[in-house]
Amino acid sequence: MTALLDIRALRVELPGSPPLAVLDDVTLSVNPGEILGVVGESGAGKSVTGAAVLGLLTSPLRQVAGEIRFDGTRIDILPEARMRRLRGSEIAMVFQDPLTALNPVFTVGQQLIQTIREHSPMGRTAAHARAVALLREVGISDPEARLDAYPHEFSGGMRQRVVIALALAGEPRLIIADEPTTALDVSIQAQIIALLVGLARSRGVGVLLITHDMGVIAEAADRVAVLYAGRVAEIGPVAEVLLHPRHPYTRGLVGAIPRIGAGLEVLPQIPGAMPRLDALPEGCAFNPRCPLADARCRAERPVPRLLGAVQVACFHAEARQTDAAQIERPDA
C-alpha cells in the first residue's frame, strides 16, 4: 500500500553559520484512515513538521534535504500555486486556535458555502445543503440555524467543530491537526478527539495529529512518533509504544500519562529541559537528561533500529523497563 503521506529523511534548517537543524532526518508516514500522533516537548519540531507538509515553512526556515510524498507524488518540490491548490482540498489543516481559521465578519454559513464552492463548482442551494450536512457531520445541532451565526457566537469547542467542517469542505484525504484541542476546555477535548477519530474511520482520512499530550495520543492515535530535538526518538503502534516504551524519553513521557481531561502537563516531569537548537549535545540529543546515558551515547548518534514493530533511536532500547524506572516523576 502506498502511504498517504510519506516523509523521508526530512531536514529543515535555520540558516546561519553554522546552520541549525530544526528537523534532522525525520522519517514518518501516515496511511489512509490512520491517525499518526506526533508528540514531544515544546520546540521538538512538531509544528515545523506539519508546516513542511503543508508547504508553509515560515521564513527563514528551509528544507535542505529529504522528501515529502503525498499519495506517491513529491509535494515538497511543487510550485507554490499547485501547493496552494492542494492545501485546503486534498490536505486540510486544523490548528490550536479556531478563531485564527475563521473570519469574524462573515457568518459560519457564508464561510462554509464559499469554501465548498471553491472546491467543487455547485449552485448556492446545493452548497447550502452541503454546508448543513457538514455541520451535522461534525456534531453541531440545528445546523440550519447555526449557519447564520458568526464565529464569536459559538463556544470554543463548537468553533473547532466549525473549523473541522471547513477543513472537510474540500474533501481532504489528509488532515494536519496541530494541537487541535489544546485551547479547549478539558471536558470538550475528548469530544473533538472523538470527532477526529470518527472522521478518520468513516471517511478514510489520514490524520497527522500533533500534540504535546500523551493522553491525547493514547486516546486517538493508531501509531505515534515521539520527537525530540527535531529527531524521531521512537515510532510505532500506539499500544506497543505506550505499553513497552523503549526510548528513555518515551518512558519518561509514558510514565506520567494523565487521563484525558485531567489537565495535567506531562512533559515537564522529565527532569531538565530540551536543549536549544544552538546547544545540541554530541551523540544522542537526549543524553544529558538520560539516566542510561554512557560514553557511547555522548559520542555517537544512535541510528534508528527496528525492534519488533517499533523503530527506536537508542543504544539502550533493549534495557529492561525497570532500569528506566530511574526516570521518575519528581512527585512520585
Ligand X SMILES: Nc1ncnc2c1ncn2[C@@H]1O[C@H](COP(=O)(O)OP(=O)(O)OP(=O)(O)O)[C@@H](O)[C@H]1O
**Which residues of this chain interact with ligand X, rule CB under 6 A?**
14, 22, 40, 42-48, 58, 61, 212, 277
Segment interacting with Mg ion, rule: CB under 5 A, options 39-47, 79-87, 158-166, 276-284:
39-47
* Pick 22 or 190: Cβ nearer ligand X: 22
Q: How far is the CB of 50 from ligand X (least distance, A)?
A: 8
Residues ≥6 apart with Cβ < 8 Å to 292 = 248, 316, 319, 323, 324, 326
Helix 156-168 to helix 186-203 angle (10° resolution) is 20
Q: Where are the alpha helices (DSSP H) in the chain?
A: 46-54, 80-86, 98-101, 108-119, 124-137, 143-146, 156-168, 186-203, 214-220, 238-243, 248-254, 295-299
Cell digits of residue 11: 531536514
247 binds, among Mg ion, ligand X, none (CB under 5 to 8 A by kind): none
Q: How many residues bind Mg ion (CB under 5 A)?
A: 2
96 makes contact with Mg ion (CB under 5 A) = no
115 makes contact with Mg ion (CB under 5 A) = no
Phi/psi for 221 (5° steps) reads: -85, 150
Site for Mg ion in 149-168 (CB under 5 A): none
Q: How far is the CB of 116 from ligand X (least distance, A)?
A: 30
310 binds, among Mg ion, ligand X, none (CB under 5 to 8 A by kind): none
* Pick 42 or 73: Cβ nearer ligand X: 42
38 binds, among Mg ion, ligand X, none (CB under 5 to 8 A by kind): none
Task: State the number of CA atoms in the 13 A half-sphere of 266 facing the CB.
Answer: 25
The pairing of strands 5-14 and 62-70 is: antiparallel
* Pick 44 or 134: Cβ nearer ligand X: 44
Return the DSSP state at 87: B
* Pick 113 or 232: Cβ nearer ligand X: 232
47 makes contact with Mg ion (CB under 5 A) = yes
10 Å Cβ neighbour count for 5?
A: 24
Q: How far is the CB of 129 from ligand X (least distance, A)?
A: 38
2 binds, among ligand X, Mg ion, none (CB under 5 to 8 A by kind): none
Cell digits of residue 224: 505515534
Segment interacting with Mg ion, rule: CB under 5 A, options 4-12, 38-46, 52-60, 311-319:
38-46
* Pick 46 or 146: Cβ nearer Mg ion: 46
58 binds, among ligand X, Mg ion, none (CB under 5 to 8 A by kind): ligand X
Buried b / exposed e across 271-292, counting CB within 10 Å, b at 16+? eeebbebeebbebbbbbbbbbb
* CA–CA separation, 111 and 106 (whole Å): 7
44 binds, among Mg ion, ligand X, none (CB under 5 to 8 A by kind): ligand X
Cα 214 to chain centroid distance, Å, stands at 12
- Per the CB < 8 A criterion, the answer to whether 281 and 293 are in contact is no
Cell digits of residue 153: 457566537
Q: How far is the CB of 47 from Mg ion (least distance, A)?
A: 3
* Pick 59 or 141: Cβ nearer ligand X: 59
* Pick 61 or 164: Cβ nearer ligand X: 61
Q: Which residues bind Mg ion (CB under 5 A)?
A: 46-47
